[in-house]
């Protein structure tokens, strides 16, 4: 059976930076609390839609793979913050990217979305159904950021990352995947007053991200450690063979605990949560792109990606990198510029007024 592998990668972070000091000005929190509990120092706030972030990341990934948009047969946009419910964010990205020969759809597995997307697209390539796919992880969770909910408002940020998948040559490519869900724990992490529940509350309530932080934390440590270890075993690798772990960036303490369970030394773990916070489905493709840019992934490296999130969902993928760690070409795609600060963007969000 042929394997799928990553041949292109790219990211898109909106320019407006929201620091912990900015948050101290608008809610009852401190830089010290946020840093010590989560490891986050700042995050990005998007002045454009999720599909715009996704398009720029995907254009950069296509250039890195040296492919034209018409070569793509599947576009998966992994997100829980699409521009609208219909059409999918993927439809908007389809048009902006010009992937005229691709089927396009969204995939919502919250923070685990990218691992689910990588697994599905990889399986379609392995089965011979398609040859080339773009998988994007993108979020604009600032749309649901509610200053009244300080326990979640400080954690999330906006951004996108994308990869191109093609059939592997030689023995590189996706070696194994491990996916799981526990729907009984669904209410532990939720965005309220969205979907068909939107506007049904009386008095009207704004959407908000609600999380039972400690319970989610406990489950995350257990499932991320188990899923990453499973995928290593299924790949026929030893834990020592893992060259780099690219974990979901939700909390530096969860990442440290996962690495400890896998007995991985800190230099084998990629962490960038301080700069972007939790960008949900986008954390792994952003971190993967930065790990390549930083020279942390070498030809032939054994890469393990692992995520955990709302659902509750979890998943991991093990991949042997190919010989090319440089992009074939660099795209000049960019977002429309903005002069607005992150707080100005947040304060300018439209709000419904009663009734
Ligand atoms: O990506 C999807 C998966 N997400 C995760 O995996 C996140 C998992 N959970 C976590 O990362 C952590 O639980 C948090 C970072 C969310 C919270 O850390 P914690 O150590 O579990 O804190 P806590 O929720 O138990 O809250 C401790 C205290 C509370 O005060 P009391 O009741 O002890 O007096 C909170 O009211 O911290 C208070 N608190 C805050 N204080 C200052 C909650 N949010 C804030 C805040 N600033 N922003």
Q: Express each pLDDT in 169-196 by its tens digit.
A: 889 999 999 999 999 999 999 999 998 8
Residue 341 covered by a domain: no
Atom 35, ligand 1: residue with shortest CA distance: 151
**Angle between helical axes of 283-293 and 113-126 (0-180°, round to 10):** 80
Instruction: Name the DSSP letter for residue 147.
Output: T
Residue 227 covered by a domain: yes
Residue 257 covered by a domain: yes
193 is catalytic: no
| Shortest-distance atom of ligand 1 to CA 23 | 48
Atom 24, ligand 1: residue with shortest CA distance: 213
Residue 108 covered by a domain: yes
The stretch 213-224 carries a mean pLDDT of 97
Q: What is the pLDDT of residue 178?
A: 98
pTM: 0.97
Residue 191 covered by a domain: yes
The stretch 261-269 carries a mean pLDDT of 95
Residue 116 covered by a domain: yes
Q: What is the CATH number of the domain that holds 19?
A: 3.40.47.10
Average pLDDT value for the chain: 96
The whole domain housing 209 covers: 4-327
204 or 113, which is more confident?
113
Q: Give the tokens for residue 141.
A: 């969770």
Atom 2, ligand 1: residue with shortest CA distance: 309
The stretch 128-157 carries a mean pLDDT of 96
Q: Cα of 102 to ligand 1 centre, how many Å?
A: 42
* Sign for the pseudo-dihedral over CA of 206, 209, 212, 213: negative
Cα–Cα distance, 158 to 81 (Å, whole number): 10
302 is catalytic: no
For the cut 90, the answer to whether the pLDDT of residue 64 exceeds it is yes
47 is catalytic: no
Count of structural domains, the chain? 1
Q: Report residue 352's pLDDT band, with 50, 70 and 90 as the boundaries.
A: low
For the cut 70, the answer to whether the pLDDT of residue 249 exceeds it is yes
Q: What is the pLDDT of residue 196?
A: 87
Contact 47, 345 (CB under 8 A): yes
Q: What residues does ligand 1 touch, defined as CB less than 6 Å away? A: 29, 33, 37-38, 111, 150-151, 154, 213-214, 216-217, 220, 250-251, 254, 278, 308-309
Q: Cα of 148 to ligand 1 centre, how many Å?
A: 14
Q: Cα of 2 to ligand 1 centre, how many Å?
A: 44
Residue 212 covered by a domain: yes
Q: What is the pLDDT of residue 350?
A: 78
Instruction: Give the residue, out of 40, 108, 155, 213, with the most ligand 1 atoms within 8 A of its beta carbon, to mutate for a pocket test.
Output: 213
Reduced to 3 states (helix: H, G, I; strand: E, B; else coil), residue 302 is strand
Out of 146, 248, 251, 302, the active site residue is: 248
Nearest to 80 by CA among 15, 158, 155, 146: 158
Cα–Cα distance, 215 to 322 (Å, whole number): 38
The burial class, CB within 10 Å (0-12 / 13-18 / 19+), for 238 is: exposed
Residue 10 covered by a domain: yes
The stretch 70-87 carries a mean pLDDT of 97
CA 159 centroid distance within chain: 8
E-strand ranges in 52-141 read 74-78, 103-107, 133-140
């Amino acid at each position: 059976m042929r394997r799928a592998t990553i041949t292109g990668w790219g990211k898109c972070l909106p320019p407006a930076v929201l620091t912990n000091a900015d948050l101290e000005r608008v809610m009852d929190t401190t830089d010290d609390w946020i840093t010590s509990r989560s490891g986050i120092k700042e995050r990005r706030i998007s002045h454009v839609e999720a599909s715009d972030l996704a398009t720029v990341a995907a254009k950069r990934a296509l250039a890195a793979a040296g492919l034209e948009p018409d070569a793509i047969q599947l576009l998966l946009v992994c997100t829980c913050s699409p521009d609208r419910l219909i059409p999918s964010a993927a439809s908007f990205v389809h048009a902006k990217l010009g992937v005229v020969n691709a089927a396009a759809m969204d995939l919502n597995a919250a923070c685990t979305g990218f691992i689910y997307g990588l697994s599905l697209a990889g399986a379609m390539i392995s089965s011979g159904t398609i040859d080339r796919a773009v998988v994007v992880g993108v979020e604009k969770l600032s749309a649901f950021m509610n200053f009244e909910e300080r326990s979640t408002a400080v954690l999330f940020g906006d951004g996108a990352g994308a990869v191109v998948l093609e059939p592997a040559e030689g023995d590189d490519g996706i070696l194994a995947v491990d996916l799981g869900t526990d729907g009984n724990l669904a209410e532990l992490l939720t965005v309220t007053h969205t979907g068909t529940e939107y506007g049904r509350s009386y008095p009207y309530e704004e959407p908000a991200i609600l999380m039972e932080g400690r319970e989610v934390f406990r489950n995350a440590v257990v499932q991320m450690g188990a899923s990453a270890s499973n995928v290593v075993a299924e790949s026929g690798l030893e834990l020592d063979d893992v060259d780099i772990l690219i974990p979901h960036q939700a909390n530096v303490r969860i990442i440290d605990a996962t690495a400890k369970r896998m007995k991985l030394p800190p230099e084998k773990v990629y962490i960038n949560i301080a700069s972007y916070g939790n960008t949900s489905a986008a954390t792994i493709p952003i971190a993967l792109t930065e790990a390549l840019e930083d020279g942390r992934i070498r030809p032939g490296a054994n890469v393990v990606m692992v995520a955990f999130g709302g659902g509750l969902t979890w998943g991991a993928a093990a991949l042997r990198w190919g010989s090319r760690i440089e992009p074939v070409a660099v795209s000049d795609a960019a977002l429309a510029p903005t002069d607005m600060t992150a707080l100005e963007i947040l304060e300018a969000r439209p709000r419904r007024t009663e009734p």
